[in-house]
Homo-oligomer: A and B are copies of this chain.
Amino acid sequence: MAQKPSIPKGTRDFSPVEVAKRNHIIKTIKKHFETFGFMPIETPSFENSDTLLGKYGEEGDRLIFKILNSGDFISKVDDVTYSSKNSSTIAPKITEKALRYDLTVPFARYVVMHQNEIDFPFKRYQVQPVWRADRPQKGRFREFYQCDADVVGANSLLQEVEFVQLYDAVFTDLGLSGTTIKLNNRKVLSGIAEVIGAQHLLVDFTVALDKLDKIGEEKVKEEMLAKGISATAIAKAQPLFNMQGSVAEQLDQLKDLLVTSEVGMKGVAELDEILETVTELGLKSAKLELDVTLARGLNYYTGAIFEVAAPEGVKMGSIGGGGRYDDLTGIFGLKDVSGVGISFGLDRIYLVLEELDLFPKAMEQSLDVLCLNFGQKEGRAALRLVTALRGHGLRADLYPSSTKMQKQFKYADKRNVPYVILLGESEIAQGEFTVKDMAKGEQTNYNLTDLEAFVTKVKQQ
C-alpha cells in the first residue's frame, strides 16, 4: 500500500511564493554584504564530530544531529561499551560526522584550515542552513538558515561602525523602517561587575540584567539575590536600572559609575567612538541605542554587542545580533585572531515583512505571460512566440495542451499571470497576437514581427 507522506517535525517545505519571498530577503542581504566588501564562502553541511562537539556547551552537544556511520557500524563498538547499553558512550563509536549547528564554528575551522590562502583582514559572509534537534515550536525549526557576516583579523572599531551601517542598509532596502539597533559592550559589563564587587558572578549578573525588559526591575533584583549577589552590590548597580536621557547622557551616567574600573572605562570609550562615528555618518532609517542590559552570548563576546529589534508595534524577538569576539580560532590552534560579526534572522525578518505587508507584489507572480494553446498548428506558432519572448528575458509559458479555453484561463488565474496571449488561426493569418491584461480585462493586438512594444510594457510593470 502506498505510504501517506509527511516530513520530519520541525522541518518545512517551501512553496514557490515562499521561496520567492525568502530569496527576496536573502538577495537583499547578500547584495549589501557584497557592497560592504564581504566575500561568500560555503562549508559542508556536515563536519567531523570533533569539530563541533564541545563548542556549544552540554546543551548544544545534545542538540547536534549526528550521522550514523555507513556499513556495519556496530562492529566498531567494543564489547564493553556495547554491553553498557549506554547511548552517550555508544554514540561516539557509531557516528563520526554531525550536521553543522551554526556557521560560526565551521567558519573558525575554515579560517584555520585555509589561513595560508586567506588575506587578512578577511571579510566573509555565509548564508546556509543549520540544524538543531531542538523541540520545535512556533518560529523555531530544526532546519533554518543563518545569514552571517564576519571580519577576522581587524581590531579597528570602524568594523563595528560598518556593521551598524550594514544593518541599516539592509533593513532600509527591505522597506523595514524604524528598526532599533541596540549596542552594548562586554567591557562595560565586566566593569560593572568589578565596581560592584561581583566579578565572579558576572555571568549570573548579566543573565539576570538581560531580563529587565521582560520581567522588570524587582524580579531582576530577586534573581540576582538568589544567585548570591549581595544587596550592597545590587544597590551599587542601581544607576543601571535608571539609565535615561540621550545616548550621550547615558554614556555620562556610565562614566560616573565606572570611573574606577579600567576595563569599564575602555568599554565606555569604545561605545563613545562607535556612537559618535555612526552619528556623524548618519543612518537611513534605523535608530542606534545604547542598551547596557544587552548581554547575549556573553561568554563569547569580548567587545561590542549588537542586537536589532523590529519596528515598534511588531511583537517579535530580535531580528539580528552579533558582536566582537577575541579568540574565535583559538579552539583550532590559531591564536590572537580578533573577529567581529553579525547575523540576520531570516525567519523572523520574513514574519515581520509579512506582518507589515512589505513584500513586493511581484513576489506573488512567477510568470509574466501565459500563451493559450489553440491546437497542434497554433501551438507551434505559440511556442515560437513564447521562445522569442523568453529570449527577451520574459518569464513566458505555453499552456501544454489545447484543452477548453475556460480551463486554460482558470490556470492563468491561479498562476496569477498578468498577461495572457491569444494566438488563434485568425491572429496568425493577420500576423498578430492578442494580449489580454488580466487585471484590467483589456485586450490589445501586437504585431508578431515586432515584440519590442509588448516586451517593454511587461518589463515596465
Residues A40 and B68 in contact, CB atoms below 8 Å apart: no
CB-defined contacts of A34 to chain B, threshold 8 Å: 366, 395
State whether A117 and B387 are in contact (beta carbons under 8 Å apart), knowing that A68-B66, A129-B45 are contacts in the complex: no
State whether A20 and B35 are in contact (beta carbons under 8 Å apart), knowing that A117-B15, A333-B4, A383-B161 are contacts in the complex: no
In the docked arrangement, what's the CA distance between A383 and B165, Å? 11
Contacts of A100-159 to chain B: CB distance below 8 A: 109-110, 112-114, 117, 119, 121, 123-124, 129, 131, 133, 143, 151, 154-156, 158-159
CB-defined contacts of A366 to chain B, threshold 8 Å: 34, 37, 39
Q: Which of B39, B40, B51, B82 lies in contact with A5, CB distance below 8 A?
A: B51
In the docked arrangement, what's the CA distance between A12 and B366, Å? 33
Residues A68 and B94 in contact, CB atoms below 8 Å apart: yes
Residues A74 and B45 in contact, CB atoms below 8 Å apart: no
CB-defined contacts of A95 to chain B, threshold 8 Å: 68
CB-defined contacts of A394 to chain B, threshold 8 Å: 35
Interface of A is mostly: mixed
A331 on the interface (CB 8 Å rule)?
yes
Q: Please tell me which stretch of A83-91, A189-197, A235-243, A354-362 contacts chain B, meaning at least 4 of its Cβ atoms lie within 8 angstroms of it.
A: A83-91
Q: Which of A37, A48, A121 has the most CB of B within 10 A?
A: A37
The 10 A-B residue pairs whose C-beta atoms are closest, nearest first, are A37-B397, A2-B333, A11-B44, A16-B39, A154-B400, A156-B400, A14-B42, A119-B414, A19-B40, A35-B390
Apart from A34-B366, A162-B383, what 5 extra A-B contacts exist at CB < 8 Å? Answer: A46-B143, A62-B70, A123-B397, A156-B400, A158-B379
